[in-house]
Amino acid sequence: MPKTIIYHIDVNSAFLSWQACHTLSIDENATDLRSIPAVIGGSQKERHGIVLAKSIPAKAYQIHTGEPLVSARKKCPSLTVVPPDFSIYVEYSKAFIELLKKHSPVVEQYSIDEAFCDMTGMEILHGSPVDFANTLREEIRDTLGFTVNIGVSTNKLLAKMASDFTKPDKVHTLFPEEIEKKLWPLPIEDLFYVGKSTSKKLRLLGIKTIGELAHTDPAVLKSHFKKHGEVIYNYANGIDNGVLTDHAEPNKGYGNSITTHYDITERDAALKIILSLCETVGARLRADGVYISVVSVTLVDCEFHHISRQTTLSSTTNVTERIYETAVSLFDEAWHKMPLRLLGVSTSHASPDKYEQYNLFDLEKYEKLSNLNTAIDSIRSRYGEDSVKRACFINSETGHMAGGLQKAKRNSR
């Protein structure tokens, strides 16, 4: 049986690279954003003023992904800031995945700019896995115009860890026999699935490197971290039993949230936003042919206090109006008149199975609404999601289908 070979391919500074490629495709004499201190950043006015991607020259100023634009500009006053355009990124992502599918029978897209490829047994076609990884890296650069890192190993975890080694435009290996030399000396924070909270607790236990974690008694880790302790112990030892698949796992939950560009102080304004979130959630549920039985609402006030409420429905549903009615009830229970900066609606326990415990009047009401929702979905699918909207959203600053993915991202699914 051939040795399992997995690639993890990660686009270097994806949004900035794709923005640069797009700009140069329009004007070959334009400045390449990758060659100057530049970032892709959201709108400060709308409270999305963070760095989404950075160039290598920007990194030299200690600018980090996720930091506020205000902070980044203080570090580099001449910083070029370009707003994101997800319609561009979606197109480049599609081209990226299509190129990978030419060379691998199984391509699992991990995110918009990352993918795993199963290259097991492909030596007959491509030769040495490491040599072909370099060939693939060069093909992506020469054909699509942007660079990638490729990690090569025997499982998804080690391949992903390898692709995070030195960047950009590199191929790295992390085979099981290389773990002691390449993985174990790294700081604990570099291990996949170890976040800030976990790393802080590990350091309090005297565990500072991945190697030290790998040699810690699993029982000790489980006593402090429960199931998560077992997971990170396995990861530190390069153990990952995840199977690579070319189809997405079914959603168990569907949700959307939106950060407002002004403080919400009026109930009517909040409910309109909640309705717009429910519109998008309901449409996604119906598109996937599933029903949910749990609805949750999340609020974040102007001082960043989080409040969440959820309830279990007596019957499953994918009707926008029923999700909205439930969300309004939860909102009224949770909101104490504090100014809000974020509202979220989420649903869970999604299943293709439907069960009903309505009374006679509710049954008739929700059957009619379900038929109406389906008809509206059909019209929006054919003529665009803005072809039908509720009257309350006409001439309104609130988008009628808000939250989560921007329209360009939603339409790419």
pLDDT tens-digit profile of 137-195? 999 999 999 999 999 999 999 999 999 999 999 999 999 999 999 999 999 999 988 88
Give the phi and the psi of residue 283 in degrees, each rounded to 5: -65, -40
CB neighbours of 194 closer than 8 A, spacing ≥ 6? 188, 202, 232
CA gap 311, 323 in Å, rounded: 11
What is the 8-class DSSP label of residue 34? Answer: G
- For residue 370, pLDDT beyond 50: yes
Please give the torsion angle defined by the CA atoms of residues 404, 409, 411 and 413, in that order, rounded to the nearest 10 degrees: -90
What is the 8-class DSSP label of residue 121? Answer: T
Q: Please count the CA atoms within 13 angstroms of the CA of 161 that sit on its side-chain side.
A: 31
- For residue 361, pLDDT beyond 70: no
Q: Evaluate whether 281 touches 256 at the Cβ level (below 8 Å).
A: yes
Distance, first Cα to last Cα, the chain = 36
| Cα angle 165, 170, 176; round to 5 | 50
Six token digits for residue 228: 């998560």
Residue 40 three-state SS? strand
Six token digits for residue 258: 């939106």
Q: Is omega for the bond preceding 250 within 30 degrees of 0, making it cis? A: no
* Active-site residue list: 114
Residues 70-122: tens digit of each pLDDT: 899 999 999 999 988 888 998 999 999 999 999 999 999 888 899 999 999 99
What is the 8-class DSSP label of residue 103? Answer: T
Q: The whole model's pTM is what?
A: 0.69
User: Which pLDDT does position 406 carry in this prediction?
Assistant: 47
Residues 291-346: tens digit of each pLDDT: 999 999 999 887 777 888 999 988 889 999 999 999 999 999 999 888 998 899 99
Residues 219-257: tens digit of each pLDDT: 999 999 988 899 999 999 999 987 776 655 566 678 888
Residues 181-201: tens digit of each pLDDT: 999 999 999 998 888 888 999
CA gap 156, 244 in Å, rounded: 7
- For residue 395, pLDDT beyond 50: yes
Domain annotation for the chain: domains and CATH numbers: 1-175 (3.30.70.270), 184-236 (1.10.150.20), 253-411 (3.30.1490.100)
